[in-house]
Amino acid sequence: MFRILSGWIEKRRQIRRRWQQDAHALIGQHGPEAYYEAQRLAARSRAQADRSGFWHWAKVASEVARLSPVVQMDMKVVQAIADEEMRKHRRS
Give per-residue pLDDT as tens, 32-78.
999 999 999 999 999 999 999 999 999 999 999 999 999 999 999 99
Q: Is the pLDDT confidence value at 10 over 90?
A: yes
Report the C-alpha gap between 69 and 55 in whole angstroms: 23
Number of domains the chain is built from: 1
Q: Is the pLDDT confidence value at 92 over 70?
A: no
The pLDDT confidence band at residue 18, using thresholds 50, 70 and 90, is very high
Query: What is the extent of the structural domain holding 51?
Result: 2-91
Q: Is 82 exposed, middle or buried (0-12, 13-18, 19+ CB in 10 A)?
A: middle
Q: What is the DSSP string of 16-73?
A: HHHHHHHHHHHHHHHGGGHHHHHHHHHHHHHHTT-HHHHHHHHHHHHHHHHH-TT---
Q: Is the pLDDT confidence value at 29 over 70?
A: yes
